[in-house]
Amino acid sequence: MLFKLGSLFMKPGAKMALLALAIVFPALASNEYQVYVMASAFVWAIAVYGLNIITGYCGQLNLAHGGFFAIGAYTLGLLTSDAGWSFWPAFVAALLVTAVLGFLVGVVSLRLKEHYFAIFTLCVGFIIYLLMDKWEELTHGPVGVRDIAAPYGFGVVDFTETTPFYYLVLAFLVFSIWFMGRLSRSLLGRTFIAIRNGDELAQSLGINLMRNKVLAFVLSTTYAGLAGALYAGMVRFIGPEEANIIHTFDMITYLLVGGIGTLTGPLLGTISIVWITQSLQFLEEYRMILFGPLLVVLVIFFPRGINGQFLTWMHHKAQTLSPAKKKKSSKVQTATSGEVKNNA
């Protein structure tokens, strides 16, 4: 079933079909709540794409990702409620703030290797949470931020309604994936993957580690900020809990289920898990009883998730289908596995 879904995604024009499906979804949905759930899944997917840049492609486990999501949400929230800005300027500010903070945190944290980086970012995430909880003069502490502005439309569209907001989020999601696709195929994306393969090897290939890691980190925090700002505009009321480490863990789960370091993985993982959790309401509170072991099983047996598994399978199928052409296979396979490559 999932393989079928995946193979649909591979065919030319399939992306268009999937996009069309997303566009007609509000008409197919049986109630507004479903549209709302889908919109929130899209928001999380954008954040997970960000995590995929630094953790999936670049190989650095960033445990402060949820913190940057919260910073995006708080920036938009505080600017529109306390400072009285209107939505779009605050939205742009949220992106800038997360990018700049991402740069500052990145410059310090990315000098650290592997475990140190993960532990450091875990602590950064917690500091973000503590500041939101304790710095009452700025953040209102545990009370949270109310009266957050909704995005105003241009002309006839009113984004305060669920369905128009859904399309707004969809547009950002499409842009996010489009950019990610372009990035992953480019020399820059390959540079990130080379860093994931190993610091020393990357350096011996003339890659400036710091510059590229910081760039990947800033991109990822900006994605998180974008998602956070959209989230704030959607729920209109946020609190310190948005920075709870549990959200970072959720996103890691989405990423691993879908396929870490792949292009469609984050979307696949986020949407499927969000809907599974939705349909099994009792899971909401205890979802981690399943997610926890799921993470363990995934990293042991399927470290590249649904999408990665599928891509490997596709590749091997393509190889066995053309045994006769084996001699000239280089050209043939590079052509047929074009998608594989793009996703890799």
Near another protein in 142-171, by CB under 8 A: none
C-alpha 185: how far from chain center: 18
Residue 281 CB, shortest distance to another protein, in Å, is 15
Binding to another protein by CB under 8 A, coded x per residue (else -) over 41-80, reads: --------------x---x-x-------------------
Q: Pick the closer one to another protein by CB: 155 or 206.
A: 206
Q: Which of 41, 7, 47, 22 is nearest to 279 (CA)?
A: 41
Residue 114 CB, shortest distance to another protein, in Å, is 5
Residue 304 CB, shortest distance to another protein, in Å, is 6
**256-295: which residues touch another protein (CB under 8 A)?**
256, 285-289, 291-295
Q: Give me the torsion for CA of 32, 227, 247, 31, rounded to 10°.
A: 10
Q: Report, in angstroms and rounded to the nearest whole number, the Rg of the chain calculated over CA atoms.
A: 20
**73-102: which residues touch another protein (CB under 8 A)?**
none
CA distance 56 to 49: 9
Residue 329 CB, shortest distance to another protein, in Å, is 6
Binds another protein (CB under 8 A): choice among 11, 296, 317, 321: 296
**299-328: which residues touch another protein (CB under 8 A)?**
299-300, 303-304, 308, 311-312, 315, 319, 326-327
In one-letter notation, the amino acid at residue 152 is: Y
Q: Tell me how long the chain is.
A: 344
CA distance 27 to 62: 38
Q: Give the interface segment with another protein, choosing from 17-25, 90-98, 123-131, 142-150 (CB under 8 A).
A: 123-131
Q: Give the interface segment with another protein, choosing from 15-23, 30-38, 178-186, 233-241 (CB under 8 A).
A: 178-186
Cβ-contact 80, 87 below 8 angstroms: yes
DSSP 54: I
Q: Pick the closer one to another protein by CB: 160 or 319.
A: 319
Q: Give me the torsion for CA of 302, 173, 100, 88, rounded to 10°.
A: -160
